[in-house]
Amino acid sequence: MADQVIDILNSNQDYLQAQQLASDGRAFAPDNSLGQAEFLRLLTTQLQNQDPSKPMDPTTFVTDLTQMSQLEATTKMNESIVAMLTGFQNLQTMQAASIIGKNVQVNGEDFSHTQGEASPFELATDIALTDVTVVVSDDSGVVKEILLPDMLPGSKIVEWDGFDDLDNESGSGVYKLTAYGTDENGDLQSMNTVVASRVNSVGINQDGTMTLTLATGEQIEMDAVREISG
């Protein structure tokens, strides 16, 4: 008797599962996608089963062949585009690797200095300034103050020789640059600075652009680079 009860319960469960499957239209929904192989198979079947007394309209036949050719050409074109994009990304990777370790000129205040070498930078102003002062500092404070002649609107290249105010040679590292001057009203005005920094690493973004990580820790886009040097 117990075995009969179990069989009845199992039968009921199977019946309920069958009812749920039948009520789910997705289980029997046809696949509406038609690939190239399916299209060719359908056309071949149509030709094999046509009525000899009423053959297939040649115009329709040519139209079907044209559609199949266009589909094949589109598929090959897509494959070519993918291969071209892959090659372009590989070329970008090689170009990015060649930048690592080089110095780049970028808009900013933090710059990389190498002991024993002069560090050039560019000052830019939109107005005439007097008493122009450039301050080089590190984490401990001011390292060097450089006094410059008056500046007219425009830009000017300046070099720091790497020595501090006590004429001691500064070591390699990251330094900060601050430049300012006095305008015609006697007010202090800051100046834009373009500084050099070493590229530590390069990342390629999903959109194909490159992001540079500098020795200062700053991350910049490739289009922000003003100049690249060895």
Question: Smallest Cα–Cα separation from 158: which of 131, 194, 182?
Answer: 194
Q: Do residues 196 and 121 lie in contact, with contact meaning Cβ atoms separated by under 8 Å?
A: yes
Helix (H, G, I), strand (E, B) or coil at 136: strand
Mean pLDDT of 105-111: 84
Gap between the terminal Cα atoms of the chain: 92
Distance CA 17, CA 34 (A): 31
Q: What pTM was computed for the model? A: 0.52
What is the domain partition of the chain in residue ranges?
Answer: 57-99, 103-229
pLDDT in tens, 133-189: 999 999 999 999 999 989 999 989 889 999 999 999 999 988 999 999 999 999 999
Least confident stretch, 63-72, 105-114, 170-179:
63-72
CATH of domain 103-229: 2.60.40.4070
Predicted pLDDT of residue 31 = 54
